[in-house]
Every structure is written in C-alpha cells, then in structure tokens.
Amino acid sequence: MSDTQQFSFTLEQQDGFAFLIRFDKDLPPLLADEPPPLGKDAGPNPSRLLAASVANCLSASLLFALRKFKNNPGQIVSTVTAHLERNEDKRLRVGSVDVVIQFEAAAESLEHLDRVLDQFEDFCVVTQSVRSGFAVNVTVRDGAGKVLKGG
C-alpha cells in the first residue's frame, strides 16, 4: 500500500493576473491577484499565500502538539514576515520567512513544553517541504511574551 496522497483543484483566470482558486472538498473559492503594476491587488498574491501556508501549518502543528499533552494554550496569534530578495539572475524570490507564534497561556502552566517545542516543526508538512528552498525562522512566545523558542 502506497503512503502517497494527493489533492487537486483549479485556478481560473478572471481579469488580468487575478485567478479564482476553486479548491476541492467544496471549500469556498479564493481570489488571488498580483500587486500593481501587473495586477490590481484584488487578493493575496502567491508569495503571500505561501507565507500564510507556512505560518498556518506551524501554528496548527504547535496547537496539535500542545493539545496532545492535554494542554490548553488559549488563543494562538501568529505573525509572518516574508523577505523577498533577488537571486543571482535578478529574479525575485522568497528568501526567508519569519514566523512568530504567540499563545495566551503562561509557559509554566503547560505540560511537556520542552518536548513539544523540540518536535512540532517536524510535523509541519508545508514548512519542512519549503525549507530546502529558503529559511523558515520560528519564534514561540507564551502569553507574557516570554520567548520559549527561537527569537
């Protein structure tokens, strides 16, 4: 039995560089667009979607790992910053992504936090898939703003 999985969906050009992404599983469509001068900024562009995917995957992975040990981290708020840079051919690329994940709870109230922080990134499909292309820097903070990882 193969462990390979797949999914597929469609992108339909709307106007100029705007594409309507029609996901599988009856999810609502999402409009993606390039910023001017190519597009009209009518939706997130692919670089923003990539950065959002990295941050979302890391945040969900941390939440899952915390809950696995019956922890309640409270609300999680993540901030992502993507750094765009030119490569040797002067083409724009995502050079790195910084993700700061903060949860409400105090670190001292959480069980097995060291283990969670050591392992949660390994289970993030998106982050581990893109790390061969660019750096993903992760910082985790508790409700008091104390840096628990990275920084």
Are 103 and 56 in a shared domain? yes
Answer whether the bond into residue 35 is a cis peptide, omega within 30°.
Answer: no
> Residue 142 — φ and ψ, nearest 5°?
-90, -175
pLDDT higher than threshold 90 for residue 134: no
Are 34 and 57 in a shared domain? no
CATH of the domain at 133: 3.30.300.20
Count: domains in the chain = 2
Distance CA 54, CA 35 (A): 21
Residue with tokens 């969900």: 60
Are 12 and 52 in a shared domain? no
Are 3 and 18 in a shared domain? yes
The whole-number pLDDT of residue 28 equals 95
The parent domain of residue 9 ranges over 1-43
- Which percentage of the chain shows pLDDT scores above 70? 99
Q: How do residues 29-78 score in pLDDT, each as one tens digit?
A: 999 999 999 999 999 999 999 999 999 999 999 999 999 999 999 999 99
